A and B are shown apart, each in its own frame.
Chain A
Amino acid sequence: MSASWVLSDEPFWHWGNRVNTLRLRAAYGASGRQPSTFSALQTYTAVVGPGGANAVTPGTLGNPDLRPERSVETELGFEGNAFDRLSFNFTYYNKKTSNEIVSQAVAPSSGFSGSQLINLGQVKNNGVEMDATYEAIRRRNFSWSINGNLTTIHNLVQANVPTAVSNYGTYNIVGYPLNGWWARRGVSVDRDPTTGLPIASTVKCDSVGKPVSCSTAPFQFIGASTPKLTGAIGNTFTIGKSWRFFALVDFKRGYRELNQQELIRCGAILGVGLCKANYSPQDYSSAYLSETVGSISSIGDVDQYIQDASFTKLREVSATYTLPRRFLGVASPMSITVAGRELHTWTNYRGLDPEIATFEQATTPPLQRFIVTLNYAW
């Protein structure tokens, strides 16, 4: 259900010279999602029994009380134009999913293994989406147009199956963002007085501000795995009838990724040979070294590898020259574009590229490219 109100069409609107058009919008919607087929059934599976005889073994526990999940979303926003140069669009959204179908592991003492679907999850998502285009300069032989968009995302798990954080990873814990990162925080380790290398038996992790043995330290929320803020800014310059220049910068902020490459190298999974900290321990803090010893990663003491993946990228710069029609003596225009893509990344992330984090050792990152395009339509 939605409604809009064009304020700028109203008789009382006296600002038409400045705000040319203005529309207010509101929408409300509800939807459902049906459980998957066979979710209700308790099943058994045929197996080979003693002496090769026929037998059955418990399959799935099922849940005959499973209901559809419901999502309710409210949107409020406005859009319009101002000064004959600026177009803008703003939306606030608030979506709440209840009775979310989540998979809950079955307690083995029930005699079944695996999981059971139940209606328990509740997730709240809200944020704003906005974009605007501003024609900063608009002359006969030169124009400059700026386009930008910005999105904020805030999500929160409000109900879920009881979940124990038993190792590092992403979890849906009530009161925290969806798929938040959790790990133990290493805080210190003693150094061998001769080599400077960390002594495994002295590693300490944080427990409410106190250093304790890592195996007893609580897992802590490290950060969100999805960006809280994303956006892009594009600039377009047009010179005369033939030249067009374009530059695009985009960014994602407020999230973390697991730098698995560094974890594998320094988290003692591949031994010590590939980690610089094992050769120059004096260059590293005690906290960092505490997460490079023994099998510390097996108990989740890896927070330093879950790194801020916020980035800003110079995504594209291009120049396009459109040949005059008379030049070729044909009816349709022809253009040549020279573009550079993935030109630069500003980030504190220590892996190859924050956009391919986690499995970066098996994934090709976005490569810097230079492209020449000849465009002709007929």
Chain B
Amino acid sequence: MRFRTQFIGAVAAVIAAAACSDLTTLTQSNPAALSATAVYTPANAQLFTNGAISDFECAFSRYVVGSGLLMDELSNSFSSGSNFDYDARRNPTNGSYGTGTCAGNQQPPIYTTLSVARRSADTAIARLKEFQDAQMPAGVSRAKLIGQAYAYAGYSIVLLGEGMCSAAINLGPELTPAQLFAEAKIRFDSSIAYATAGTDPTTVNFATLGRARTQLDLGNTAAAGTDAAIIPANFIVNMSSDALNIRRENYAFLFINQNSWGTVDASFRGLTVNGAPDPRVAVTNSGKAGTVTGTVIWTVDKYAALGTVMPIARYAEAQLILAEAKLAANDITGATTAINAARATHAGLPAFSSTGLSASDVKTQIIEERRRELFLEGHRMGDMRRYNIPLAPAAGTAYTLGGGLYGSQNCFPLPDVERINNPKLKS
């Protein structure tokens, strides 16, 4: 028997296999990105708190539009199957609402952007707590930064609770909206404590109003009223904005005015108070056609440019929360006063009179006041779920714009990308 064994090949193969086994240490550095260890240092305390705020602002503006499209504030005018799915309330669980990021705009991202915002804030808090005050750069208050980060973490989670049917936090288990609201409240509590210590009244009020909103979501109406009552007149925290940075553009303007992807829903057009146009829902028929046959773009007057800011929390919202708390305590007069305090923030808007109205009538009025006052500010979806407002058109109705039928979603389902890749959720 004469074997021709190729010893050289054998030796080479063994050497190659052994070498491959040792290729486990990756020590490269990437000049185009910052490593975690380089970012989270005391010198960068302001930088990564800014990051948390920036991530929230991007997520917030997209949530405003995405939730408005799923609910009744906006209507689709863009001939795209994915956009039809938002409008017809039938998003598949692999849809862009779950995976989209701040870089993607055609379909409003919801889950990933809010999750990134939550994580950025929570990570900033964790790192800041590891540092000492003495390590902070000159003029930077550690307590103030922690208070700010807690507030934005709280708002991120409130929006997850109001917008998602369920969600996870930090690769944890699937949480119900009530569990999410409880998580948000913990952060608002901490925010108020740290911001108070850091002498930051704006953040104290921002977190207090966030907590009031959360208490309302939790059904703790009296506690919500207590928080809302201390919010001062003229209080407002806006999403900062500019017209040149895609993360910070006014996304409603980009979506509606600039790209004609959506239009103000017919149910928000031509609203009046005592026969006069309601300034809270001032909208304009632009005359432009959407790419869906028969659609016309109606724009939102208060979002007049890419650089127009969007309010996150403000005094009128606090007053409407207070009105709800007063009404829950059978104080119709107090509720009316609060409604009118909110109305008074708009010049020329007549006062509301509850004379002769029942508590049920006033409750209906509060819901309507919130619909108009907080139009396209990210509240409507939470309200529709909290008040059990029926979906219109009802599920099963033919969706004439894009074919098929309306679905029954009143919240965004937990997306596949979380359910599949979160070890706590794998079945």
List the interface of chain A (C-beta within 8 A of B).
1-6, 9-10, 28-32, 34-35, 37-60, 64, 66-68, 70, 104-114, 161-164, 166-167, 200-201, 268, 294-295, 298-299
Contacts and interface: CB of A to CB of B under 8 A. Distances in A.
Contact of A109 (B20, B44, B48, B167): B167
A41 B26 CA distance: 8
Contacts of B51: 44, 47, 49, 55-57
Given A109-B115, A111-B123, 9 more contacts: A2-B9, A3-B6, A28-B13, A42-B35, A44-B51, A48-B242, A70-B17, A105-B421, A166-B92
A108 B116 contact: yes
Contact of A110 (B102, B119, B403): B119
B57 to A, nearest CB: 7
Nearest to A268: B403
Contacts of B247: 47-48
Contacts of A114: 101
A299 B91 CA distance: 10
Interface string B364-397: 0000000000000000000000000000000000
Closest 4 CB pairs of A and B: A111-B119, A32-B20, A43-B33, A49-B50
A200 B397 CA distance: 12
A60 B33 contact: yes
B116 A57 contact: yes
22 contacts: A3-B4, A3-B5, A3-B6, A5-B4, A30-B20, A37-B28, A44-B39, A48-B247, A49-B53, A50-B240, A54-B47, A56-B34, A58-B120, A70-B20, A107-B425, A108-B417, A109-B170, A110-B115, A111-B120, A164-B420, A166-B416, A268-B403
A57 B119 CA distance: 10
A43 B5 CA distance: 49
Interface in B38-53: 39, 44, 46-48, 50-51, 53
A47 B59 CA distance: 14
Contacts of A53: 46, 50
Given A2-B6, A162-B426, A295 B403 contact: yes
A105 B120 CA distance: 19
Contacts of B240: 50-52
Contact of A106 (B55, B81, B98, B421): B421
Nearest to B112: A108
B120 A57 contact: yes
A69 to B, nearest CB: 9
A81 B241 CA distance: 79
A68 B18 CA distance: 12
Contacts of A112: 116, 119
Interface in B80-135: 81, 84-85, 92-94, 98-99, 101-102, 111-112, 115-116, 118-120, 122-123
B404 A108 contact: no
A11 B50 CA distance: 84
Nearest to B19: A32
A3 B55 contact: no
A188 B312 CA distance: 50
Size bracket of the B interface: 35 or more
B47 A166 contact: no
Contacts, number: 218
B355 interface: no
B23 A34 contact: yes
Nearest to A162: B420
A67 B25 CA distance: 8
B3 A3 contact: yes
Interface of B: 1-6, 9-10, 13-14, 16-17, 19-21, 23-24, 26, 28-30, 33-36, 39, 44, 46-48, 50-51, 53-55, 57, 81, 84-85, 92-94, 98-99, 101-102, 111-112, 115-116, 118-120, 122-123, 167-172, 240, 242, 245, 247-248, 402-405, 415-422, 425-426
A106 to B, nearest CB: 6
Nearest to A37: B28
A299 B85 CA distance: 11
Given A35-B26, A49-B50, A107 B422 contact: yes
Nearest to A42: B36
B30 A41 contact: yes
A295 B407 CA distance: 13
A73 to B, nearest CB: 11
A38 B35 CA distance: 10
Contacts of A298: 81, 85, 92, 404
Contact of B92 (A37, A46, A167): A167
A201 B405 contact: yes
A82 B288 CA distance: 79
A60 B54 CA distance: 17
A228 to B, nearest CB: 29
Nearest to B114: A108
A56 B167 CA distance: 24
A232 B35 CA distance: 54
Nearest to B168: A109
Contacts of A28: 13
Contacts of A66: 26
Contacts of B20: 30-32, 34, 68, 70
B119 A56 contact: no
Contact of B16 (A32, A35, A50, A57): A32
A49 B112 CA distance: 19
B54 A50 contact: yes
B21 to A, nearest CB: 8
A58 B6 contact: no
A133 to B, nearest CB: 24
A30 B6 CA distance: 15
Given A107-B168, A107-B171, A1 B9 contact: yes
Contacts of B34: 43-46, 56, 59
Contacts of A163: 420
Contacts of B417: 105-108
A96 B352 CA distance: 75
Contacts of B16: 30-32
Contacts of B46: 53
Most buried by B among A31, A44, A47, A200: A44
A48 to B, nearest CB: 5
Given A49-B53, A55-B53, A109 B171 contact: yes
B229 to A, nearest CB: 28
A185 to B, nearest CB: 18
A53 B140 CA distance: 14
B167 A59 contact: no
Contacts of A54: 47, 50
A47 B58 CA distance: 11
Contact of B57 (A31, A45, A50): A50
Contacts of A166: 92-94, 416
Nearest to A4: B4
A45 B4 CA distance: 57
A7 to B, nearest CB: 10
